[in-house]
Structure 1
Amino acid sequence: MDIRNYLDSTYLKTAAQANLSETENKVIVKNAIQEAIDCQFKLIMIRPEQVALAKEMIQKAKSKVTIGTVIDFPEGEGSLSNKLKEANEAVINGADDLDFVINYKAFKNGLIDEVKQQVIACTQLGLAHHKIVKWIIEVAALDTHQIVQLTVLIKNTIISNFSEKEYEKVFVKSSTGFYKTTDSAPNGATLPTIKLMLENSFPLPVKAAGGVRTYDEAMEMIQLGVKRIGTSSAKAIVTGEISNSDY
């Protein structure tokens, strides 16, 4: 098993979030893309406005690294039309994976039909263009019962509206990594939350995102059954180094 095949190497900070100039942040983005190429990670996960740059660099290097981006990130509160517009632009620019933030606030407020409608329409767009679709449920914003409910809602919506051969292309993903928790609680993937997701997502695969920073932690997630890991510590995971990343 090559652990690199599970790693979505991730850099999603804006210049403002990183407390850098746009030029300085672009250097970090380029370095992240180049590292993914050099290390042959499964995927580089970046903001939508950086997808075209990644496509250019990857094609020039004749690399097999795929490109992922986030849609309606990180709050997930955008309208369906905005989600579709952003996703379509990402497809045009060369994205291979579309990681949508589900409207978890609408779900918590009982607007189940609205959430289902977004899952159906956005998944249809992604699959129609032969893309991988992932639904970020933001586990840190949910209690245990809600994690189960939202995972099951996505699973049942996909099973009811898409063919069996497409299930493997639609993931349930744990976290954005940007949710602000209280009392320093984890805002990403934890073993208990990933176990809950895996128990309730089948036959859809699960992506563990946020908080996986070492080889041992990554292997623990893979042995549980996750198919992808979103991390800004991909190189450290592969080399066994210590990561000081916050995602």
Structure 2
Amino acid sequence: MNSNLTPQKIAKMIDQTLLKAYVSDEDFRTFCEESAAYDFKMVAINSAPVKKCREFLGGSDVHVGAAISFPLGQTTIETKVFETETAIREGADEIDYVVNIVELKNRNLDHIRREMKSIVEICRKAGVISKVIFENCYLTREEKEILCGIALEVKPDFIKTSTGFGTGGATVEDVRFMKSLVGDEIKVKAAGGIRDLDTALAMIEAGAERIGTSAGVKIVEELRERLTAEG
């Protein structure tokens, strides 16, 4: 384990997620208060509750992250642009959007390129972090390479393994492969199925600089307990 990794440092690598189909306002309030208490990097939510979560976080420096065209990515570029602009206007500090996998499979790479460029440019102008969700469980190795190549042209801040709603989540192999293709030009976010400290550490070791998880509290507490036990 990285000897310099403290509970505070790993918390600042965590995008704590609450993306369920039904969440009450009280659930969101508790979630935001807990995220602020642990000082996570971001709360990852659907785009509709951005404004209320911004309010629930108060003066905290925890970012609000909006999931765009989530989880299937099957909306038009114009729709994704509108959702992105609305989320930013309502207080989103980060945007995680899902690529149109159908158009990727059809090898309509101009569509993928225009989609990515449109959203990344909006984020860049607004000073907002952009992340592109690949959903690797549905992609071939060649398709992952294609997406990484387009990302190197467009330069989003992050490329991301998964939504957590597909047939598979993040794998160490995918994180390592994506990082090997983009190097230091773009950061990698691992998300989907990361529910404990050891899995999170493996993703970080493979090159992930953000961890998307609903188990952020558990991960931080596991690290705290392990460091205490080690003296």
TM-score, normalised to structure 2, is 0.89
How many residues align? The count is 215
Equivalent residue number for residue 119 of structure 2 = 122
Q: In structure 2, how many angstroms separate the alpha carbons of the residues matched to 1:57 and 1:27?
A: 10
Q: 5 Å matches for 1:54-69?
A: 54-59=53-58, 62-69=59-66
The reply to whether residue 194 of structure 1 matches residue 175 of structure 2 is: yes
Q: Are the equivalent residues in 2 in contact too, given 1:135–1:172 (CA < 8 A)? A: yes
Q: In structure 2, how many angstroms separate the alpha carbons of the residues matched to 1:29 and 1:209?
A: 20
For the aligned residue pairs, the C-alpha RMSD in angstroms reads: 1.4
Q: Which runs of 4+ in 1 moved over 3 A?
A: none
User: What secondary structure sits across from 1:133 in the alignment?
Assistant: strand
Equivalent residue number for residue 13 of structure 1 = 20
Equivalent residue number for residue 129 of structure 2 = 132
User: What secondary structure sits across from 2:96 in the alignment?
Assistant: strand
1:30 positional shift: 2.2
Q: Are the equivalent residues in 2 in contact too, given 1:14–1:25 (CA < 8 A)? A: no
Cα deviation digits, residues 78-116 of structure 1 (max 9, x gap): 111111110111011100000011112201111000110
- CA gap of 1:206–1:6, structure 2 versus 1, over 3 A, is same
Gapped runs of 5+ residues in structure 2?
Answer: 224-231
Q: In structure 2, how many angstroms separate the alpha carbons of the residues matched to 1:9 and 1:49?
A: 17
Equivalent residue number for residue 229 of structure 2 = none
User: What secondary structure sits across from 1:227 in the alignment?
Assistant: strand
Q: 5 Å matches for 1:76-91?
A: 76-91=73-88
Q: Which amino acid aligns with 1:30?
A: R
Q: 5 Å matches for 1:39-78?
A: 39-59=38-58, 62-78=59-75
Q: In structure 2, how many angstroms separate the alpha carbons of the residues matched to 1:55 and 1:6?
A: 19
Q: Which amino acid aligns with 1:29?
A: F
Q: 5 Å matches for 1:132-151?
A: 132-151=129-148
User: What secondary structure sits across from 1:189 in the alignment?
Assistant: coil
Q: In structure 1, how many angstroms separate the alpha carbons of the residues matched to 2:162 and 2:29?
A: 24
Q: In structure 1, how many angstroms separate the alpha carbons of the residues matched to 2:202 and 2:69?
A: 30
Q: In structure 1, how many angstroms separate the alpha carbons of the residues matched to 2:216 and 2:205?
A: 17
Equivalent residue number for residue 107 of structure 2 = 110
1:238 positional shift: 0.4
Q: Which amino acid aligns with 1:33?
A: C
Q: Are the equivalent residues in 1 in contact too, given 2:71–2:165 (CA < 8 A)? A: yes
User: What secondary structure sits across from 2:159 in the alignment?
Assistant: strand
Q: Are the equivalent residues in 1 in contact too, given 2:120–2:154 (CA < 8 A)? A: no
1:149 positional shift: 2.1
Equivalent residue number for residue 228 of structure 2 = none
Q: In structure 1, how many angstroms separate the alpha carbons of the residues matched to 2:41 and 2:71?
A: 22
Q: In structure 2, how many angstroms separate the alpha carbons of the residues matched to 1:101 and 1:217?
A: 23
Q: In structure 2, how many angstroms separate the alpha carbons of the residues matched to 1:105 and 1:194?
A: 22
Gapped runs of 5+ residues in structure 1?
Answer: 16-23, 159-168, 182-186, 242-247
Cα deviation digits, residues 190-238 of structure 1 (max 9, x gap): 1111111111122111000111111121112112221111000000000
Q: In structure 2, how many angstroms separate the alpha carbons of the residues matched to 1:139 and 1:28?
A: 30
The reply to whether residue 210 of structure 1 matches residue 156 of structure 2 is: no
Equivalent residue number for residue 27 of structure 1 = 26
Q: Are the equivalent residues in 2 in contact too, given 1:134–1:173 (CA < 8 A)? A: yes
Q: In structure 1, how many angstroms separate the alpha carbons of the residues matched to 2:38 and 2:49?
A: 20
Q: 5 Å matches for 1:148-163?
A: 148-158=145-155
User: What secondary structure sits across from 1:37 in the alignment?
Assistant: helix
1:54 positional shift: 1.1
1:7 positional shift: 0.2
Equivalent residue number for residue 163 of structure 2 = 176
